[in-house]
Homo-oligomer: A and B are copies of this chain.
């Protein structure tokens, strides 16, 4: 009988969002007249900028004429977009346009990237962080069994706490693959140049590969936070960088992202990471939709930049207001300056879920319990500043009932 991939059975049932839904539903049933304020899910709410839309509509119309119709595009994306990205996001950095692979989501890319590594590779990651790194490590057989505290035996967890300013400590043992998310989801805290230098040095010394998730790069406002890991000399020999247009330009429903895989990056036995990823992409990916690629290109036009930056400013303004309010209420608040997420310590030593329940019942606000992002997330909750403006307004009032 056909056998299944037994690693799938080691996945924790995706309980976080269903459990949040369940508790919110119970509250709604018992309090029919009270509307809930959702600061949970990190999804874009502002409409797509007009310049991007216009480019997409034009590209769609091209598909309807025999002279401009396009069939299969390159699996790795159209050169017009690779070049636009290279010129704008990697000016003066050692990256060339053919090292950029266009795709339809950082989630897909970062999960699929596991595939080019041996299953024996040791994975290290920030704790707390984006759960897809763990889940894809489990599916790829690199996590081992789940322990009683909810962590996986083979994964190296790097605790990010307020004591270390949410900067992951270097592992005390050898790691092969290191996930770094900066600005990090859920803490909203970003790694400084000094911190990243430390990581590049570690990777060079240990011959490890850094998978650098820069999905929230566009939110960086602090001058000393690198926008790309390639700002650190030598990083192009140890790091792959992932970028998303999901939050940058509201592409969560349109789908658009890219991966930078430098040609100077090698695995054991001289295997080229670039060549392996290219082969993976050509065999298992049919390319990103043409109108979407034209939409991504338009983000880089002067008008596209102006429009998308205004939207980002708007989100960050919401983050600032949330942060200010929560601080004024005496809470310990992190993130929100270089990311649209606010990371809040639960008062009175409450657990994540206790604080979640408290916020739900007292303020009618939905948050995300920090424990859902890793063991070190216990005692925190995450708020998203990506909600609509009126939702933020309501939240600012509702917090007073805490």
How far apart are the CA atoms of A105 and B255 in the complex, in Å? 14
Would you call B64 and A5 a contact (CB within 8 A)? Answer: no
Interface of A is mostly: loop
Is the CB of A163 closer than 8 A to any CB of chain B?
no
Return the contact of A8 from the options B46, B60, B276 (Cβ within 8 A): B276
A63 interfacial by beta-carbon distance below 8 Å: yes
Output the residue of A2, A50, A117, A268 with the most chain B CB within 10 A.
Answer: A2
**How far is it, in angstroms, between the C-alpha of A64 and the C-alpha of B288 when the chains are bound?**
21
Given A2-B117, A8-B116, A66 contacting B43 (CB threshold 8 A): no
Kindly state whether residue A85 has any CB partner on chain B within 8 Å.
no
Taking the nearest CB of chain B, how far is it from the CB of A94, in angstroms?
Answer: 21
Residue A154 is within 8 A (CB to CB) of chain B in the complex: no
Partner of A279, one of B8, B104, B121, B253: B8
Per the 8 Å Cβ criterion, residues 32-85 of A in contact with B are: 41, 43-48, 50, 53, 56-57, 60-61, 63-66, 69-73
Cβ–Cβ contact A60 & B63, under 8 A: no
Q: Are B47 and A53 in contact (CB under 8 A)?
A: no
A250 contacts partner chain B, Cβ-Cβ < 8 Å: yes
Chain B residues contacting A120 (CB-CB under 8 Å) are 3
Interface status of A4 (Cβ within 8 A of chain B)? yes
Stretch at the interface among A106-114, A145-153, A164-172, A226-234: A106-114
Structural contact, A64 and B48, CB atoms closer than 8 A: yes
Question: In the bound complex, do residue A253 and residue B4 qualify as a contact, i.e. CB atoms below 8 Å apart?
Answer: no
Question: Contact string, A206-218, partner B, CB cutoff 8 A, digits 1/0?
Answer: 0111000000000
A14 at the A/B interface (Cβ < 8 Å)? yes
Do A118 and B255 touch across chains, with their CB atoms under 8 A apart? Answer: no
Interchain CB contact under 8 A, A283 and B71:
no
Taking CB atoms, residues of chain B closer than 8 Å to A116 are 4-5, 8
Instruction: Report yes or no: B286 in contact with A105, Cβ–Cβ below 8 A.
Output: yes
Contact between chains at A253 and B73 (CB < 8 Å): yes
Interface residues of A in 312-337 (CB under 8 A from B): none
Contact between B5 and A283, CB atoms less than 8 A apart? no
A11 contacts chain B at the CB level, 8 A cutoff: yes
Residues of chain B contacted by A192 (CB below 8 angstroms): none
Residue of B nearest to A203 (CB): B2
Q: Are B46 and A66 in contact (CB under 8 A)?
A: yes
Chain B positions within 8 Å of A349 at CB level: none
A290 at the interface (CB under 8 A from B): yes
A177 at interface, CB cutoff 8 A: yes
Chain B residue nearest in CB terms to A389: B66
Contact pick for A69, options B4, B48, B65, B267, CB 8 Å = B48
Judge if A99 is at the interface, Cβ distance under 8 Å: no
The verdict on A132 contacting chain B, using a C-beta distance below 8 Å, is yes
A374 contacts chain B at the CB level, 8 A cutoff: no
Question: Which residues of B sit under 8 angstroms from A136, Cβ to Cβ?
Answer: 283-284
- Nearest B residue to A288, CB-CB: B255
CB-defined contacts of A280 to chain B, threshold 8 Å: 8, 139
Residue A186 is within 8 A (CB to CB) of chain B in the complex: no
Pair A291/B104 contact, Cβ less than 8 Å: no
**Does A176 reach chain B (CB closer than 8 Å)?**
yes
B69 touches A104 (CB 8 A): no
- Give chain B residues whose Cβ lies under 8 Å from the Cβ of A119: 5
A-B residue pairs in contact (CB < 8 Å), sample of 25: A1-B176, A1-B267, A2-B207, A2-B267, A3-B118, A3-B267, A3-B269, A4-B276, A5-B276, A8-B276, A44-B69, A50-B64, A53-B63, A57-B57, A71-B252, A71-B253, A73-B253, A104-B289, A107-B286, A108-B284, A111-B283, A132-B284, A254-B289, A255-B289, A289-B292
> Nearest 8 pairs between A and B by C-beta?
A105-B286, A3-B118, A1-B207, A43-B71, A2-B176, A111-B284, A4-B271, A4-B267
